Amino acid sequence: MIEFYYAKSNPKETIEEHTEKLLDNLNLLKEIYPNIKNIDWDILYVICKYHDLGKINPKFQTKIGNYIEDNFKDMKEIPHNFLSPCFLPKKKIKKLLESKNYNEQEINKYLIIIYQSIYWHHEREEPENLINLFKDYKEEIQNLIKDYIFAIDKEKLKFNPSIGRFVSKPIENQIEDYGEDILYEYILHKGLLNKIDYSASAGLPIEISPEPLSDYVIKFLKKEYNSNLNDLQEYMKANENKNIVVIASTGYGKTEAGLLWIGKNKGYFTLPVKVSINSIYRRLLNKIKLKKEKVGLLHSDTLSELLKDASSYKFDEDYYNLTKNKSLPLTITTLDQIIKFIFKYNGYEYDLAHLSYSKIIIDEIQMYNSKMLAYLIIALKYIDKIGGKFSIITATFPPFIYDLMKNYNINIELSENMFLSNKKRHKIKVFKEDILNLKINKSKEKVLIIANTIKKSQEIYDLISKSEEYSEYNIELLHSRFINKDRKEKEDLIIKVGNKQKNGKYIFISTSIVEASLDIDFDILYTELLDLNSLFQRMGRCYRKRELKEGFNNVNIFIGNEKNSPSGTNIKEFIDREIFEYSKEEIFKYDNKYISEEDKQKMIKSIFNTEKLKETEYFKNIKNYLNYWNEIEKGSVEKKYINLREIDNCTIIPKTIYNKYSDIIEEKYSKITNLKKDYENKKRFIEINNLIEDIKKYSVNIPSYMIKSNNIKLNLVENIEINKYKKLYILNYDYSKEKGIGKYLGKVEEDNFI
């Protein structure tokens, strides 16, 4: 008589032990978030209890070291997820459902959900003639369970392979018979099984209990500003159970308002730019004093960012894993980390289900391109349907986005009140010429110049840095093509300069990377025009909270002329030309005038409405993306190929930088190589990643078109192989700490591979 069967081999774990871990996590989830919409906890219990019983078969048990005689040696192993539903006690489950007063159609619906949640909890290819194979297996498995008592609920198991009526027709094809609810209830139950199962296998709690964020916000406002909640913050707190769009001026306390809306719930705070996310994350910990173990940081460079702090605290691998598992109560993240599910890759239910009990804040929505906006609208449709909540808090909100959301039947409420500052902060001067003709007002100490493209920013830097006229200024350039080491120094410096923490006169030249959520405040701004949304973000970096009392033109906008348009405005992928022209017309109306927050809203409504945009390429692109991705079939896209942000970059080390630091780089790479072989070292994961981060300080991401346009064959150039997925290519690009990446200087003779 066999007393137990194994579920895991390393370390060994019986099916009962593994299932108990699942049920513990199920109870923890129920305890922390008891009111998840559309969840039936008893049904989820059944799904968790029986999900792994298909591992009771000779082939699986022998594979993991529990040898059992196999009478079907020539037959391929049937993956356990397909076998597990055959152990379900259908009559007992029907009685459970009847006791809940479900009608016959509802009982059939939930039976389909239970069977398919288990059947597809691993998304494997279904073997041919599977139902017939079940029948061949029946006698073999019945012999295995004949004297076996399943310890969970002390149950005598039976094997019934007659499950075809419940699993042969995909859930998506059941909507006609059972309505759309069957799809969302299936996503919820199957997705939560996946999350519970993964957490149990990883030895992680499925969720960490949240704390009331309002307590922290109120305490912070009292201590920092000696103030109570403002009208925006009161509004968000009062509407915490609604999906809402709120328009509020820069500096109005939107971050605090968002935390009040999340309350004592699971929350995500999303921003489009990583540097802004890092800044908000540190502000929440250091200023608002949220507990670190309750707040996660999640983007493509999370590990790098956390390792930066490893000198001040021991790196917490559990914290890092909880962050990746999306188990923390509050996570600051990029949007792509939580909405990939729209591609309906196999297993997407895992990524959508937990959003049913989450509240999502979307900040800076106007910064997303047409494709990302389409992705977001589709995601919000699903999140709304499955029971999650979202709030859009933004300085400007294009009305056409609201129309598109309504077209997709998304429940959303646009606040009638706009929370706008009545301070006069900006007075505009419009120049019909190239920004290279700018004349800087030298009476101002902190000057910010923003170009639309990196190339233009470098041209401006050359012009100003070589001019004797501005010799009393420290002149700095910041864009995305500096090596990480130099970029970090420049980002730290602009924050100090922009917060008046640095003495002296500064001219900072930059690009759109300073637009989003950087808390900087310069005395005067010179900028190229791109579109109104971008312009208003840039204006938020000058006189951010101050009132303009002197009456000078503190915002100087260069709109170009017939011969010279602002950089980037003739590039189709960069900006829709019609939107640029509309923006130019609007902004010129305010030449040499103050522009109020209300004026900005009127201008946005004037341009970014459905009627005005419907014939533009920009709007047509959004509609096309919406139509395509809304109808995508499950499994037609593989998760590993999803690049939501469509950032097609290549990571390089400029040859001059490599030559300068080669001894350091090679020493660290040698240590990585040795550590990879040191299997006894329990800290090697951290040590290897610290060394990788040290090497990456000398690297920079460049767009792939810079590789293609210079006809660079990456397989023939020097590289540093970080792992099987990542290489750093050593390329002969001109580079300086002052200007960043310049021209490609041609092929390097040596072909050394590290």
Q: Each residue of 339-371: pLDDT tens digit? A: 999 999 999 999 999 999 999 999 989 888 899
Which value, to the nearest 10 degrees, does the dihedral of the CA atoms of residues 582, 587, 589, 593 take?
A: 170
User: Quick one: pLDDT at residue 749?
Assistant: 41
- Write down the residue that tokens 């040698």 correspond to: 670
Higher-confidence position of 435 and 693: 435
617 domain-assigned: no
Structural domain including 367 reads 213-414
Q: How many CB atoms lie within 10 A of CB 655?
A: 19
90 domain-assigned: yes
Segments in 651-699 forming alpha helices (H): 655-677, 684-696
Average pLDDT over residues 198-223: 96
User: Quick one: pLDDT at residue 70?
Assistant: 79
Q: What percent of the chain has pLDDT over 70?
A: 97
Highest-pLDDT range among 61-70, 230-239, 514-523: 230-239
Are residues 198 and 222 both part of a single domain?
no
Number of domain units in the chain: 4
Render pLDDT for 119-165 as a digit per residue (tens, 0 to 9): 999 999 998 888 778 877 888 889 889 989 999 999 999 999 999 99
What's the CA gap between 675 and 686, in Å, rounded?
10
680 domain-assigned: yes
DSSP letter string over 146-170?
A: TT-EETGGGEE-------HHHHSS-
Report the amino acid identity of residue 112.
I
Domain-terminating residue out of 202, 233, 265: 202
User: Quick one: pLDDT at residue 747?
Assistant: 65
Are residues 513 and 588 both part of a single domain?
yes
608 domain-assigned: no
User: Quick one: pLDDT at residue 310?
Assistant: 61
Given the DSSP bridges, would you call strands 700-703 and 649-654 parallel, antiparallel or unpaired? antiparallel
Domain-terminating residue out of 172, 202, 232: 202
Are residues 451 and 316 both part of a single domain?
no
Give the predicted TM-score (pTM) of the model: 0.92
Q: How confident is the model at residue 754 (pLDDT cuts 50, 70, 90)?
A: very low
**Closest by CA position to 493, among listed 281, 504, 273:** 504
Are residues 91 and 196 both part of a single domain?
yes
Are residues 156 and 228 both part of a single domain?
no
Does pLDDT of 381 surpass 80? yes
Does pLDDT of 709 surpass 70? yes
Are residues 396 and 511 both part of a single domain?
no
Q: How confident is the model at residue 681 (pLDDT cuts 50, 70, 90)?
A: confident
Average pLDDT over residues 54-71: 88
626 domain-assigned: no
DSSP letter string over 483-512?
A: -HHHHHHHHHHHHHHHTT-S-S-EEEEE-G
What's the CA gap between 496 and 43, in Å, rounded?
55
Provide the 3-class DSSP secondary structure of residue 312: coil
**Closest by CA position to 371, among listed 394, 410, 339, 345:** 339
Given the DSSP bridges, would you call strands 740-744 and 733-736 parallel, antiparallel or unpaired? antiparallel
Render pLDDT for 252-290 as a digit per residue (tens, 0 to 9): 899 999 999 999 999 999 998 888 898 899 999 999 999
Does pLDDT of 566 surpass 60? yes
Average pLDDT over residues 188-209: 97
Are residues 354 and 231 both part of a single domain?
yes
User: Quick one: pLDDT at residue 593?
Assistant: 96
**Least confident window among 20-24, 139-143, 329-333, 605-609:** 139-143
Query: Counting beta carbons within 10 angstroms of the beta carbon of residue 348, is it exposed (0 to 12), middle (13 to 18) or buried (19 or more)?
Result: buried
The pair of structure tokens assigned to 310 is 């490893």
Highest-pLDDT range among 131-145, 515-529, 589-603: 589-603
CA distances to 53, 473, 571, 655, 749 from 426, in Å:
67, 24, 29, 44, 54
Does pLDDT of 570 surpass 70? yes
Find how far residue 260's CA is from the centre of its chain: 21
Rg (CA), the chain: 29
What's the CA gap between 205 and 29, in Å, rounded?
9
What's the CA gap between 23 and 370, in Å, rounded?
43
**Closest by CA position to 10, among listed 49, 84, 65:** 65
Q: How confident is the model at residue 1 (pLDDT cuts 50, 70, 90)?
A: low
**Closest by CA position to 454, among listed 475, 480, 483, 435:** 480
Does pLDDT of 716 surpass 80? no
240 domain-assigned: yes
* DSSP at 742: E
H or E, element range at 727: strand 726-731
669 domain-assigned: yes
Q: How confident is the model at residue 234 (pLDDT cuts 50, 70, 90)?
A: very high
Are residues 104 and 228 both part of a single domain?
no
The pair of structure tokens assigned to 240 is 């915490």
Are residues 351 and 483 both part of a single domain?
no
CA angle, residues 362, 367, 369, in degrees to nearest 5: 110
Average pLDDT over residues 537-562: 92
Average pLDDT over residues 328-334: 97
Render pLDDT for 608-642 as a digit per residue (tens, 0 to 9): 999 999 999 999 999 999 999 988 889 888 887 78
Are residues 132 and 198 both part of a single domain?
yes
The pair of structure tokens assigned to 518 is 């950087």
Phi–psi pair at 329, nearest 5 degrees: -65, -35
The pair of structure tokens assigned to 749 is 């003779």
220 domain-assigned: yes
Domain-terminating residue out of 352, 385, 414: 414
Are residues 358 and 454 both part of a single domain?
no
Does pLDDT of 750 surpass 70? no
Residue 430, domain CATH: 3.40.50.300
DSSP letter string over 408-465?
A: TT---EE-SS-B---S--EEEEEESS-GGG----TT-SEEEEE-SSHHHHHHHHHHHH
Are residues 125 and 159 both part of a single domain?
yes
Average pLDDT over residues 166-194: 95
